[in-house]
Homo-oligomer: A and B are copies of this chain.
């Protein structure tokens, strides 16, 4: 059947989508989410069909095309195309197979990941895959093949002249911004560290959010490669680099239910590291009541899987299980965390010692793995100012935003949380700290967050400040202060 093209002024944000009215779809024997072939002149395009509701019809004889499809065909509004039913991709059968409790083979997993990456399958179909992988779990082989498929369907950043080392942290600890110290330490030692990081999804700051206070992080593939070759390292937002891009689609699908399928987490981390041709890889697994891993033992279990998978892909992989029971550093929130990082590099008197110690510990381990000087070499880069100089090179290369950390603006609306009695801090509740900082506006309001004056073990005198909340507007500050009632941040 032939149809006249109508441009839907909207991106579907997903596969190629075309819309027919219910009558025309019926004539073609088509249902929503069926596949069609669209022929324009001599070329054929594959798309997924949507069927418009009777209450707001795409007109008879008309085909609505979302922006991606419309532009690919070549902006032919009013032009004529013919439409034929087409078969579903074979990957749909493999997804069904996984739902029915069977394991998939290498070829089947590659097909699914290819079709997710090339946006040949719809949200609904991808959701079935994510859901089946979550509920039925992935076998070891499936995890390996998923990793392989993610690598294969993305771009690779190849560095051949110098050794690439990389790290990953599974997250869950507020303020834990070690990456921003490890990258300049490692790069100043002559190794390469092309680090991609994520933005916060549920926390008060991701590494990409924090680095963004100091420099541009939307680097993309080419700039990331150039900067790494030029200065030895970078801290880029992973979303624009096209390393293992299937992962981004899967995370989008996981978000509505906040699920985190272990096999997919393992595959996506290892695939991204293999995609930057890392030779040595350190995985930091903080454990604690508010981390993904509650106990040392569960952290170790997850670590062993990372270890096995990383080594399988030829990376010298090590894990470190760290204490995630309290926040690390003083600042929580992008600006406050960026200041902490720069203070450590500048060795100021008020630099958070715990953040420095953890960063040096991790960087030292990574240097050791690469046959270098270990903790001592790591510490030297900080004391000597070489790490600071390297960080400034990286910031300049990525695009500097502030001349010096002292120019970073914090929220002007401030609330001091005061001790009501004397004592000693027994615990600080990571979850409460994160929720209060978010209520204050972090991570989107860069200047919002928390400055921790007291840490676990510190003595507290009545009326002393425990922490200070910063917000960019008074409403949000009020909101954050209200949270104090629901959450007990300090136990002392």
Interfacial residues, chain A to chain B (CB-CB below 8 A): 8-11, 13, 19, 26-29, 31-33, 50-53, 55-56, 58, 64, 67-68, 88, 92, 95-96, 99, 101, 122-125, 127-128, 131-132, 134-136, 201, 252-253, 255-259, 438, 444
10 closest pairs, A vs B, by CB? A11-B53, A131-B131, A56-B67, A127-B127, A11-B56, A33-B256, A135-B135, A13-B53, A124-B127, A29-B444
Contact between chains at A92 and B124 (CB < 8 Å): no
| A125–B128 CA distance with the chains assembled, in angstroms | 11
Which residue of chain B is the closest to A438 with respect to CB atoms? B29
B131, A257: Cβ atoms closer than 8 Å: no
| Complex alpha-carbon distance, A122 and B256, angstroms | 9
* Contact between chains at A258 and B96 (CB < 8 Å): yes
Shortest distance from the beta carbon of A483 to any chain B beta carbon, whole Å = 15
Bound: A258/B88 CA distance, A: 11
Q: Which of B10, B27, B92, B123 contacts A52 (CB 8 A)?
A: B10
Nearest B residue to A29 via CB reads B444
Chain B residues near A33 (CB, 8 Å)? Answer: 255-256
**A125 neighbours in B (Cβ, 8 Å):** 256-257
A256, closest chain B residue (CB) = B33
Note all chain B residues with C-beta closer than 8 A to A131. Answer: 99, 127-128, 131-132, 135
Contacts A64-B10, A124-B123, A124-B127 given; indicate if A32 touches B95 (C-beta within 8 A): no
Residues in B with CB closer than 8 Å to A444 are: 26-29
A-B contact pairs, 21 of them (CB 8 A): A8-B8, A10-B10, A10-B52, A11-B53, A13-B32, A13-B50, A13-B53, A28-B444, A31-B201, A33-B255, A53-B67, A96-B258, A99-B134, A123-B124, A123-B127, A125-B257, A127-B128, A128-B131, A131-B132, A131-B135, A132-B135
Q: Which residues of B contact A10 (CB under 8 A)?
A: 8, 10, 19, 52, 56, 58, 64
- Smallest CB gap from A251: residue in B: B31
| Minimum distance in angstroms from A18 CB to a CB of chain B | 12
Compute how far the CA of A10 lies from the CA of B128 in the bound complex, rounded to whole angstroms. Answer: 26
Q: Which B residues are CB-close (under 8 A) to A99?
A: 131, 134-135, 257, 259
Q: How far is the CA of A201 from the CA of B255 in the complex (A)?
A: 32
Flag if B124 contacts A56 (CB, 8 Å).
no
Contacts of A123 in B (CB 8 A): 123-124, 127
Q: A99-B134, A135-B135, A136-B135 are in contact. Are A11 and B257 (CB under 8 A)?
A: no
Q: Is B26 within 8 A of A96, CB to CB?
A: no
16 new A-B contacts at CB < 8 Å, known A13-B32, A13-B53, A127-B131: A8-B10, A11-B53, A11-B55, A26-B444, A28-B444, A29-B438, A29-B444, A31-B255, A32-B252, A33-B255, A55-B68, A56-B67, A96-B257, A96-B259, A123-B123, A131-B135
In the bound complex, CA of A50 to CA of B256 (Å):
12
Q: Which of B9, B13, B27, B256 contacts A51 (CB 8 A)?
A: B13
Which residues of B are found within 8 Å of A96, using beta-carbon distances? 257-259
Nearest-neighbor residue (CB-CB) of A88 within chain B? B256
CA distance A351 to B136 in the complex (A): 52
CB closest residue in chain B, given A30 = B444
Distance from A292 Cβ to chain B, minimum over Cβ atoms (Å): 15
Residues of B within 8 A of A122 (CB): 256
B residues less than 8 Å from A31 (CB atoms):
201, 255
A13 to B32, CA, bound (A): 10
What is the bound-complex CA distance between A52 and B13, given in angstroms? Answer: 7
Collect the chain B residues with CB atoms within 8 Å of residue A50's CB.
Answer: 13
Q: How far is B74's CA from A454's CA once the two chains are assembled, in angstroms?
A: 54
Q: How far is the CA of A56 from the CA of B67 in the complex (A)?
A: 7
| Docked complex Cα distance between A417 and B131 (Å) | 47
A13 to B29 alpha-carbon distance, docked (Å): 19
- Among A88, A128, A256, chain B packs the most CB atoms within 10 A around the CB of A256
Q: Which residues of the other chain, B, contact A26 by a CB distance below 8 angstroms?
A: 444
- A257 & B92 in contact (Cβ 8 Å cutoff): yes
CA distance A263 to B52 in the complex (A): 30
Q: Does B101 contact A135, Cβ atoms closer than 8 Å?
A: yes
Contacts of A101 in B (CB 8 A): 135
- Distance, CA A64 to CA B124, complexed state (A): 23
Cα(A33)–Cα(B64), bound, Å: 23
Q: How far is the CA of A52 from the CA of B136 in the complex (A)?
A: 33
Q: Which residues of B contact A438 (CB under 8 A)?
A: 29
